Every structure is written in C-alpha cells, then in structure tokens.
Structure 1
Amino acid sequence: MSEVKSTKRGRIAAAVGTSLVVSALSLGLGAAPASAAGASAKSVCSGSASGALLKWGPVSKQCSYTSPASGWKGKLKVSWKVQESTNQYACVQARMGKAKHPDKWQSVGCGQSGSGSVKWPANSASNLEVRAQARPNSPLVNVDYSI
C-alpha cells in the first residue's frame, strides 16, 4: 500500500513540476541563447531573424505578450546584433503584430548592432514581429534580438 502512495506522490510531483516549467516558458522566463542581443538577466524574450541582400526576410514572431493596463509608457525596447565573428551588415525593423490591423513597421536601426523602441499601446495583446535585410557588403544576414 505504501508503494502505491509513493508512486502517486511521484506522479503528482512530476505533473506539478511539468506545469511549472510550461508556465515559466510561456511567460518567456526560459534562458535566452548566449548569442542573443543584449542577453542578460533582464531579457524577457529573444529570437532571431534573417534576410537577403536588399530583401526583407521572413517575419520572426517569437515573442507574444500583453502590455500592462496602467502605468505603461507605450513603448517596447528591442535590441539586436548580427552573428558574432561575421562581417554582416543589417537593417532591422520591428512592429507589434496585432491579430487585426498590425502596426506599421518601425526601424530599430542599421549596422552590426542596435536598438530601438516600438510603439505598443497599454492593455493590448501582441506578437513582436521582427524582420531583417542584408546590406551591400553581405548577401545574407542573421540577427539575434531580445526585449
């Protein structure tokens, strides 16, 4: 009988542990990749985007959140950088991609790294959308970004 109780406790503990991990990951509390731009304890979410020479690459949608209802200043800071040890040069744009009527693309800089603010109204659920474009000295570009 005590083996049955022990097995049930083990299953319950495993279920609770799994639930906590899934909750933390859905909130963006997982560890960011070491190469992510501005990777630090303050990074809420990170992702990557790529692009070709003078062509915008696919839209990266790895960060989704709801902004606070009050006390929010209406902007989200996005930091980014190209892959380390490369001579890549990129232009990066970001926006809050709401389900209906996504915002206009906003530049967050050109070069090998940069940061910028994206408008994000209070109390709205949105995906941060990021895209990159390679510039003349590199045919392709890969950038890592974080918020």
Structure 2
Amino acid sequence: MKLRVIIALSSAALLTLALALVSTAGPTCLGDADSDGVCDVEGGGDNCLGVANPAQRDDDEDGYGNICDTDTNQDCNTGAADLTGVFGNFGGSNPWSPKNLGAFDVNEDGGVGAADLTAVFGNFGSAPGPSGKSCADCLATPTTGLGLGTCP
C-alpha cells in the first residue's frame, strides 16, 4: 500500500513539473525566421521579418519595426528626405522630431547617430520592411507612440 502511494505521489510531481515547463516555454511559432522569439505571422506578426528585434519597437506605429524602417517620412521609399531627417537630428537623444514625427533612431539605441545614417544609406531606394503584420502601411500617418497609429 505504501509503495502505491509513493508511486502515485511521484507521478503527480512529475506531471506538475512537466506542465510547469510547458506553460513557461513561450509561444510555439510555425515560423520565426530571424529567431527573435516573435512569431512571423501568428499572434499579430513580427514587425521586421528579416532582422531580430525582440522588443518590436515601432515608434511611428506603421507596422514596420524601427530596425527595418528607414522611411522616416512615410512615403514608402527611403530617400533624400529620410537622409536629411536623420542627419538633421544627428546627435540627438530624443529620436522624435516635431518637424515630421519620424522615428530617426533606426537602430533603437536611444539616440540618432552614425549607425542610423549608415542604415538609411544602406536602404536608400528601398521600401520599409518586410513586416509580418497584416496592418503594416508605409503611408500611415506617423504617431507619437500612443497606440493611435494604424498598426500599433
């Protein structure tokens, strides 16, 4: 009788442990191409499919993560205006500018610097993204990170 009780208690403890491990493992993704822990499409979608960005920061709330959105003026193309905007805010610790509310801190380090300029040069002539969010819109009106954008 004592042996059966011990076996039953041991089985219950193992089951509890297994359930605890499964519940803390996080979501299971069908795809996470950049291995940032955010599913590419399921549950809202990764806002930057090719570059790891676990924080999913998207300051202008257009559905494209800052790390792959060098289109700061929302015209669907990284060009001279974006370069001018980043250069004009170079050295600033506040990546938001009242000039056009673009997110100039592309690399998400808290300031606008050489890495941000390099990213704009590297993406010159390209659209933002890609994004796994179905609501992503490169023509969206920029917001100030208050959850008021078209794709927060």
Q: Same fold (TM over 0.5)?
A: no
Higher relative contact order (CA 8 A, sep 6+): 1
More helix by share: 2
More strand by share: 1
What TM-score results when the alignment is normalised by the length of structure 2? 0.28
Greater radius of gyration (CA): 2
What TM-score results when the alignment is normalised by the length of structure 1? 0.29
